[in-house]
Structure 1
Amino acid sequence: MNLLTNINPVTRIIALMVLTTPLLLSIDVVSAAIALAATILLAPLAGVSWPMLIKRGWPLLIMAPVAAISMALYGRPEGTEYFSFLLIHITDNSLELALAIGVRVLAVGMPVVVLIARIDPTDLGDGLAQILKLPERFVIGAVAGSRLMTLFRDDWASMSRARRARGIADQGRIRHFLTMTFGLLVLSIRRGSKLSTAMEARGFGRETKRTWARESTIGVHDIALVVVCAAISAVAIFVAIQTGYFRFLGT
């Protein structure tokens, strides 16, 4: 089940901003925990199962504890002190901040995994140019570049097979990596030049009004997604304020 199938990519980005931006106003565990719980519960409705959420969000699962530990060791010391050594002070306040930061990293990052997953670059480009009215040449160039980035892995594998077939073997992993990286850079520049020439020949550089093969629109489902994300964010902040955990950033 995927309720985001017909949602405009631009709407997904707007919904993501509506959901996560208010969370940046406060460093508290309550608002972050509510937003994170809502994201996890609603993820299957967006076509992202819980195992897939963990698989795609593993960098966040590593970053959150690292950020929490750093805050626990070097956060502003207040309250009872449990351990200290040079610049390290573990206190009630630093532990509270560590928990809040760790949960907030997940609360801000996991919605990105859910809402931005499986966005087609072409659909995103159509939305950016037609709905947000961004410069057409910039959008088309960005879409073309994103399409080419998916070829990097294939190019790397092809170069490795070609070097192996020719009997070229680098001594050491570092030398092999540097050699392959330089070859990939040269190949990317050549492909980019060919693409630029082809796009110019097809009239992508003209200043006349452009037409679009597919119309990008916003409907009721898009508005509903933004409303749901705004509601989750509002409830999270409201509960944090009512429970006394709201802690404005910088205080």
Structure 2
Amino acid sequence: MTISVQPVLGSAAARLNPVAKMAAVLIQTLALLTSIDWVSAAVAVSLNLILFAWAGLSWAEFWKRTFPVWLAGLLAGLTTSLYGRVSGQTYLDIWFIHVSDGSIALGLATSLRVLAIGLPGVVLFATTDPTDLADGLAQILRLPARFVLGGLAGVRLVGLFLDDWRQLSLARRARGVADTGNWLDRLKRFAGQAFALFVLSIRRGSKLATAMEAKGFGSSSVRTWARPSQLRRGDLLIVVLAVAVAAAAIASAVAAGTWVFLLRNT
């Protein structure tokens, strides 16, 4: 599966300020981290899936970009179900594996919470241009320009690294080093190609750093920005929606009696 790193632009979500998107994701994350119940996470996931229809991603693009989050949620829930806290009726007890009512409930809550926290971040930042993000961080949050520009340059290089990996694969196949043999041979070829990409990335990073320094990006003087970054009504709307989703998730869990404030036990 080829994972795209290019932002999906042109939608309503793409026109929102990246700082407002970060605030929306942070609000939901902080709200969901206060408890580990499954009701609040399920409500947050359901509401977010409805809102994702306006993000501008097709279903194929949505599944392709969020596949790692779904996989991480599944693995986290499975691991917690096998090795989580034992309570209630026990269904399986072999060595370190203990499957019970408590571990299954905790595994479900963990899986849903990974999805509730991870999906909004992936979807919102899939519609964010890195340059717009850098403008927002520097002009609205007032982060240091050297840090922002360095991060922007690094993000821009990710797509080039993917292209370099494909070119290295084609070059090795042209020399007769194809993807054949047993798993050990494949692992050796992967390690050799990864080391070649690592060396290439260091060289490219050094050249880029020298070029940026020569063009004055490392100056300590006050920097001007070509594109102003401002917060608009739509940015306020997405923050309000994030607060509403977080409040609905917490209220649903409290009404269902599953809400457990984590700091209460610390």
1:215 and 2:197 are equivalent in the alignment: no
Q: Structure 2: state its 5+ residue gaps.
A: 1-9
Distance 1:95 1:9, change over 3 A: same
Match of 1:93 among 102, 110, 116: 102
Contact map agreement 2:28 2:246 (CA 8 A) in 1 = yes
Distance 1:66 1:150 in 2: 28
User: For residue 64 of structure 1, what is the aligned residue in structure 2?
Assistant: 73
The structure 2 residue matched to 1:77, chosen from 66, 78, 86, is: 86
Matched, 1:246 2:255: no
CA shift in 2, pair 1:95/1:177, >3 Å: closer
In structure 2, give the amino acid aligned to 1:38: L
Residue in 1 aligned with 2:133? 124
Secondary structure, in 3 states, of the residue corresponding to 1:150?
A: helix
1:51-101 per-residue CA deviation (whole Å, 9 max, x = no partner) reads 432222222222222222222222222222333233333222222212211
Indicate which of 7, 21, 39 corresponds to 1:30. Answer: 39
Partner deviation per Cα, 1:84-139 (whole Å, 9 max, x = no partner):
23333322222221221121121111112221113111111111111111111111
Hey, what's the Cα distance between the residues in 2 that align with 1:96 and 1:160? 44
Scaled by the length of structure 2, the TM-score of the pair is 0.86
% identical aligned pairs: 47
The SS at the match of 2:152 is: helix
Q: Secondary structure at the match of 2:33?
A: helix
Change (3 A) 1:153 1:114: closer
Say whether 1:157 aligns with 2:170: no
Distance 1:75 1:162, change over 3 A: closer
Q: Answer yes or no: is the 8 Å Cα contact 1:53–1:113 preserved in 2.
A: no
In the TM superposition, what is the alpha-carbon distance from 1:35 to its structure 2 partner? 0.4
Match among 29, 42, 45 for residue 51 of structure 2: 42
Provide TM-score, normalisation by structure 1: 0.90
**1:178 aligns to what?**
191
* Secondary structure class of the residue paired with 1:90: strand
Does the CA contact (< 8 Å) of 1:78 and 1:94 recur in 2? yes
| Structure 2 equivalent of residue 226 of structure 1 | 239
Q: Secondary structure at the match of 2:107?
A: helix
Give the Cα separation in 2 of the matches to 1:81 and 1:200. 63
Q: List alignment gaps of at least 5 residues for structure 1.
A: none
- What's the CA shift for 1:43? 0.6
